[in-house]
Amino acid sequence: MICPQCDRCAGYHDDVPRTLVSLFGPLGYQRAYYYCRRCGHGRYPFDEQAGITPRNLTPAVEQLATLAGGVCDSFERGADLLADMAAVRLSESTVERTTEDVGRRIAAHLDRGELFGPPVVWAWNRDAKGRRVAYVTVDATGTRQQGPGGRAAEGRMAYVAGVYNPPPVEWLRQPGQAPPPLQARYLSGLYALEELGPLLRRLAAQVGMEHADLWIALTDGGSGLEGFARQNFNRPDLVLILDFYHPASYLEALAKALHPGDAEQAKAQAEAWCRLLKEEGGALTLAVLRAWDWPARKSKALREQLQKTEEYFANNAHRMEYPEYWAEGWHIGSGVVESACKTVVGQRLKGAGKRWGEAGAHALCHVRALYRSEKGQWQAFWKRQVTKRTGVQQIK
């Protein structure tokens, strides 16, 4: 064979035995070894063509191990699941390293501007005025990072972003008709916001976001997310909505501080405030909170939470016109998408006592995001159906 290093002839040297882990247990085989005398480079062409991993797994076992490592609560459970379902025995650390290798491969594709499967145009669902609406979302999610020496790492934020086409809101649907399924593609990793922008735009372009009449960006308040949405999806009529889940969680915390030790009363109060927010919007809810008959002597927790909530509502009221959004037939972020977003990485990364190295968390985020994306994305990666980079316009 031709030596890939120096283009000289690399001669056949020997047949070398190797043992693999296959779906059917250990598998011994021999493959030809070629060696280049000029540059000292040796290789096994069969292993490369067959996609044998450096950890002696067949491609099928690699795929299963990644699935188990990605969907289970821990790599240890992943190894157990693998043994239960396929009688494949791998150590916890092999499941972990294999999953992380795959995550790095996914990230490398994205980094090169490559996506999985062919470009498509989603049939964007329509709002109350018949406009086809495309949604993007981005949210930061806390992961506990482990830095050198076990110190908490400064690290980049873990983001979950996505482009999605939710079913029409309930009041726009035909009664008795099952809603079309949610279509969503996710992106997640420890990125800087500037890095995330082009990746998300490319993901959106791949599903035909340009063809939608209206774009809606759902984000949390603060930490540059509104600016991120404006910069990356800056159509003049871009609609920015504060993902309802976030102000609702402020109200829940406030209700708990008001009724410490009475979970039921706190829950009822939180629900009443959330209803008010949904029906009357952020500005009015803020006015109600300001005029509330608070106890004369507030606890420290209540004082702090009230101040945080008022600030948050004051800063984001322009994105909390929920009754208007409802009348337009738009989604406000609670429900299926919000929960899907949380499950992309939240469940797996935030488990009790979990601490992650930055590289490991970044890799796992990619596995989770691809796995949770609409059907076909995960499969396209494994079938190596990669769409190479095409020019993506900076939308200006």
H/E segment holding residue 215: strand 214-219
What whole-number distance in Å separates Cα of residue 338 and Cα of residue 344?
A: 10
Q: How far is the CB of 33 from Zn ion (least distance, A)?
A: 14
- Which residues lie below 8 Å from residue 136, measured CB to CB, with a gap of 6+? 161, 162, 163, 164, 200, 204, 209, 215, 216, 217, 218, 229, 233
Number of amino acids touching Zn ion (CB under 5 A): 7
Q: Smaller CB distance to Zn ion: residue 12 or 292? A: 12
What whole-number distance in Å separates Cα of residue 182 and Cα of residue 46?
A: 42
Q: Smaller CB distance to Zn ion: residue 34 or 356? A: 34
Contact window for Zn ion (CB under 5 A) among 5-13, 65-73, 167-175, 257-265: 5-13
What whole-number distance in Å separates Cα of residue 186 and Cα of residue 365?
A: 10
Q: How far is the CB of 45 from Zn ion (least distance, A)?
A: 14
Q: How far is the CB of 21 from Zn ion (least distance, A)?
A: 31
Q: Smaller CB distance to Zn ion: residue 6 or 263? A: 6
Here's the x/- map for Zn ion, 139-168, by CB under 5 A: it reads as ------------------------------
- Which one among 1, 6, 272, 288 touches Zn ion, defined by CB under 5 A? 6
- Which one among 5, 223, 265, 390 touches Zn ion, defined by CB under 5 A? 5
- Which one among 3, 95, 217, 253 touches Zn ion, defined by CB under 5 A? 3
- Which residues lie below 8 Å from residue 188, measured CB to CB, with a gap of 6+? 158, 159, 160, 161, 344, 345, 365, 366, 368, 369
Cite the DSSP H helix spans in the chain. 45-50, 59-71, 75-86, 92-111, 193-206, 225-232, 245-258, 263-280, 282-290, 300-316, 322-328, 336-349, 358-372, 377-382
Q: How far is the CB of 223 from Zn ion (least distance, A)?
A: 51
Residue 33 makes contact with Zn ion by CB under 5 A: no
Residue 2 makes contact with Zn ion by CB under 5 A: no
Q: How far is the CB of 12 from Zn ion (least distance, A)?
A: 14
Residue 36 makes contact with Zn ion by CB under 5 A: yes
Residue 39 makes contact with Zn ion by CB under 5 A: yes
Residue 182 makes contact with Zn ion by CB under 5 A: no
- Which residues lie below 8 Å from residue 91, measured CB to CB, with a gap of 6+? 79
Catalog residues that contact Zn ion under the rule CB under 5 A: 3, 5-6, 36, 38-39, 41
